[in-house]
């Protein structure tokens, strides 16, 4: 079986049928990484010794005819802000350059118990702050479909690894679109679960009320498999919800067509406005028409406070960033500077350790939380956040899902937006409302006919803890192109 054909499901079937061994496939993927990743730069570090040992353990289970799950031996890439004990976790920042994780994130514990193989840690925008992976302190990742273009961000490395077949699946984090936007740019599936559906324990925090861990996969079916493994309440994360543990495996993995046809889908007029590129608009319209062929009801809806989401996000998110990143002073990790006074040492370490975008957001967040500005900015933004969430509450009385574009433009070229932070921020205009409302959403590629086209993704948004609706419709949409 060729690496291009490998999905989690197909890998599992090949493994249990003994068509190949996990060790053989892991070695083949590492050979591909060594041959191709020099030009893509999806990975920051590789985990070859541990990965091959994990693959051998999977093969031993197969040899003994022990029961194995879908993820046994699955070759996965992990975003470099998720802790794996004994491996580097830099968050693509110089201030954590020498940090080695001392424990596993909860999602990693779950994947280890499932028998997954961890190939390495993937590149990202520093501390997940960015939409292009150009903000990594260790160099940018390139889009496998066009090396002159960005893969999106902040989880660009994970998306690129899956798109270039250097991993069967990957984990990323999504604070304002950091799974869905790179998934759209790289032509893969990216799921941002409901806030609280997947534990954040062991993940370097950016904005704690917005961050969520989720999968990158080649198919929606694979996304359902991976989400099913990592979901659930966690005693180590007080924001994780018991409702996540109640999501049934059968609903995720075996959706019924009669249930899918009962779904009602809303198309918000606020997402199809000036600024949406013609290519994106026509591709998403094609997806809408394809979904109509499933005999699903589609109607126009309105989310009137969408226009305030970007402004609201860029007050709340930096405020939480400034609080979360104040713990990094460069004393134990990173390239420690020299100074006579402790305060000067902190200043020099943070100056050398943080990149420009991180500094920009820390300063902005500190400002909006400062005396005299808290009520004018932060408190007001939280009120607007509530209005955005109420918009979704209202439309979900009429429909079950919302369908939108993921991005306003196609993947842009390197350097195209770096001189204008506001223009870069606009890349996430269609994904940010979901994070503010804590909803689940998924980006999946439009079934396009011409292979020379750049990828385009569309977004399905569901009710809280209704990932089964998104994943179910997505799986039947995928079948239309087979």
Q: What is the DSSP letter of 2?
A: -
DSSP 60-71: HHHHTT----TT
Count Cα atoms within 13 angstroms, Cβ side, for 240.
20
Residues pairing with 300 in the sheet: 267
Is 215 strand, coil or helix? strand
Strands of the sheet with 297-301, listed across from one edge: 43-46, 117-122, 75-79, 169-174, 212-217, 189-192, 441-445, 457-462, 401-405, 264-268, 297-301
What's CA 167's distance to the chain center, in Å?
15
The residues assigned a catalytic role are: 79, 154, 178
Residue 394 φ then ψ, to 5°: -70, -45
Give the length of the chain: 482
Residues pairing with 46 in the sheet: 120
Per-residue CA distances from 174 to 47, 150, 153, 432, 439 (Å): 24, 17, 9, 10, 12
Count Cα atoms within 13 angstroms, Cβ side, for 74.
32
C-alpha span between 423 and 53 (Å, rounded): 45
CA dihedral 123, 126, 130, 136 (to 10 degrees): -50
Residue 97: count other Cβ atoms within 10 Å of its Cβ.
17
Sign of CA dihedral 189, 192, 198, 203: positive
**E strand residue ranges, 364-448:** 401-405, 441-445
Report residue 119 as tokens.
Answer: 């190939």
Count Cα atoms within 13 angstroms, Cβ side, for 19.
10
C-alpha span between 134 and 125 (Å, rounded): 6
Residues pairing with 170 in the sheet: 77, 216
C-alpha span between 232 and 136 (Å, rounded): 31
Report residue 459 as tokens.
Answer: 């977004």
C-alpha span between 127 and 81 (Å, rounded): 7
């Amino acid at each position: 079986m060729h690496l291009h054909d490998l999905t989690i499901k197909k890998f599992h079937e090949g493994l249990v049928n003994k068509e190949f061994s996990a060790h053989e496939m892991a070695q083949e993927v590492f050979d591909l990484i060594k041959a191709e990743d020099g030009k893509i730069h999806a990975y920051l570090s590789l985990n070859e010794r541990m990965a091959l040992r994990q693959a051998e353990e999977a093969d031993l289970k197969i040899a003994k005819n022990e029961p194995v799950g879908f993820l046994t031996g699955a070759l996965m890439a992990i975003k470099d802000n998720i802790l794996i004990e004994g491996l580097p976790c830099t968050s693509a920042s110089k201030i954590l350059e020498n940090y080695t994780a001392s424990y596993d994130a909860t999602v990693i514990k779950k994947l280890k118990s499932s028998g997954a193989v961890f190939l390495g840690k993937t590149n990202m925008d520093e501390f997940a702050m960015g939409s292009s992976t150009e903000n990594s302190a260790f160099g940018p990742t390139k889009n496998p479909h066009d090396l002159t273009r960005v893969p999106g961000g902040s989880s660009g490395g994970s998306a690129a690894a899956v798109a270039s077949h250097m991993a069967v699946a990957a984990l990323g984090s999504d604070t304002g679109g950091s799974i869905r936007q790179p998934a759209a740019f790289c032509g893969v599936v990216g799921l941002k679960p409901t806030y609280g559906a997947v534990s954040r324990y062991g993940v370097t925090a950016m904005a704690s009320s917005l961050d969520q861990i989720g999968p990158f996969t080649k198919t929606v079916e694979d996304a359902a498999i991976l989400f099913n493994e990592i979901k659930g309440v966690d005693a180590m994360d007080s924001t994780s919800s018991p409702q996540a543990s109640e999501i049934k495996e059968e609903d995720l993995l075996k959706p019924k067509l009669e249930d899918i046809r009962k779904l009602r889908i809303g198309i918000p007029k606020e997402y199809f406005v000036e600024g949406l590129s013609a290519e994106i608009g026509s591709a998403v319209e094609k997806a809408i028409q394809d979904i109509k062929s499933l005999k699903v009801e589609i109607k126009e809806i309105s989310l009137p406070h969408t226009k305030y989401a970007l402004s609201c996000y860029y007050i709340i998110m930096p405020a939480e960033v400034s609080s979360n990143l104040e713990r990094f002073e460069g004393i134990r990790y990173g390239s420690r500077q020299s100074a006579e006074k402790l305060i000067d040492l902190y200043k020099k370490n943070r100056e050398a350790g943080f990149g420009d975008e991180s500094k920009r957001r820390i300063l902005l967040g500190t400002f909006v939380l400062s005396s005299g500005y808290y009520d004018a900015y932060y408190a007001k933004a939280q009120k607007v956040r509530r209005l955005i969430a109420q918009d979704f509450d209202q439309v979900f009385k009429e429909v079950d899902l919302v369908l939108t574009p993921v991005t306003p433009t196609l993947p842009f070229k390197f350097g195209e937006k770096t001189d204008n932070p506001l223009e870069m921020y606009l890349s996430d205009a269609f994904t940010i409302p979901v994070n503010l409302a804590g909803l689940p959403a998924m980006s999946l590629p439009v079934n396009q006919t011409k292979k020379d086209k750049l990828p385009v993704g569309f977004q399905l948004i569901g009710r809280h803890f209704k990932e089964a609706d998104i994943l179910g419709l997505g799986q039947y949409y995928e079948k239309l192109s087979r």
